[in-house]
Chain A
């Protein structure tokens, strides 16, 4: 019980919502941009590249023959 009124700092009494909103709105922009950038470069770009690479030299008829040989088709033996 040694705290006197003079020793304690007065807490912020007004404008708490405004302060909260400002902090979070200003922070939301870089946060969401960062997440979007991360998703683009870590997920979307590699996936598009994987598809391009897969289909560049894709032999669809050869693939079909392999599947036919494996015996999964009912009507193409």
Chain B
């Protein structure tokens, strides 16, 4: 089944390259020469397929060769007379990519996550450096001694004795409940 004639020109066809080659190809021949990808030049309009804009006004291929023009003439008649391959060719003239193609997955998320983690690490290093060379001394209320005295005062006052802090302290044994 020929479908749209895919060339075997480039070993790894770029997305754009394939579309453009398809546009310039004859409908049925699989041996048409491959044109190198042209960016945003005629006969292609400037758009990329978007899910949010599924049916643009301009067709994807604006300059048509003779065969394609003949096909467009045939399209004006009854569509039941178009073969499957012709319908596909007309679709390709009109649209940049099918929905399946435009929605395909990619591996971009790996790059994104990699960069995110890289910058997490870089930020951590920066903050570490700042901790050593920039931060001022801790205020007295954050020293261990003060914090211990503060905790003892809260326990003496029986703060939250039902379900909270003082409920976890064993007043007889003077230690935290197990």
Interface residues of A (CB under 8 A from B): 1-2, 4, 47, 50-51, 54, 63, 66-67, 70-72
Query: What is the CA–CA distance of A1 and B167 in the complex, to the nearest angstrom?
Result: 70
For the complex, is B3 an interface residue (Cβ under 8 Å from A)?
yes
Query: What is the CA–CA distance of A34 and B162 in the complex, to the nearest angstrom?
Result: 28
Interface size grouping (class) on chain B: 10 to 19
Q: Is B158 within 8 A of A4, CB to CB?
A: no
Q: Is B158 within 8 A of A63, CB to CB?
A: yes
Q: Is B157 within 8 A of A2, CB to CB?
A: no
Prevailing SS type, chain B contact patch: loop
Q: Is A1 within 8 A of B3, CB to CB?
A: yes
Question: Which residue of A2, A4, A71, A72 has the most chain B CB atoms within 10 A of its CB atom?
Answer: A72
Interface string of B156-175 (1 = CB under 8 A from A): 11100111000100010000
Query: What is the CA–CA distance of A50 and B168 in the complex, to the nearest angstrom?
Result: 13
Prevailing SS type, chain A contact patch: helix
Given known A-B contacts A63-B158, A67-B158, A72 and B153 have beta carbons under 8 A apart: yes
Q: Is A54 within 8 A of B84, CB to CB?
A: no
Q: How far is the CB of B63 from chain A (nearest CB, A)?
A: 25
Interface residues of B (CB under 8 A from A): 1, 3-4, 84, 88, 153, 156-158, 161-163, 167, 171
CB neighbours of B88 from chain A (8 A): 1
Query: What is the CA–CA distance of A4 and B1 in the complex, to the nearest angstrom?
Result: 12
Q: Is B1 within 8 A of A2, CB to CB?
A: yes
Q: What are 5 inter-chain pairs, A to B, with CB distance below 8 A?
A: A2-B1, A63-B158, A66-B171, A67-B158, A71-B156
Question: Which residue of A2, A51, A63, A70 has the most chain B CB atoms within 10 A of its CB atom?
Answer: A70
Q: Is A67 within 8 A of B157, CB to CB?
A: yes
Q: Is B156 within 8 A of A67, CB to CB?
A: yes
Q: Is A54 within 8 A of B157, CB to CB?
A: no
Q: How far is the CB of B73 from chain A (nearest CB, A)?
A: 24
Report the 10 A-B pairs with minimum CB-CB distance, sorted nearest first. A70-B156, A1-B3, A54-B162, A72-B156, A50-B163, A72-B157, A50-B162, A51-B162, A67-B156, A72-B153
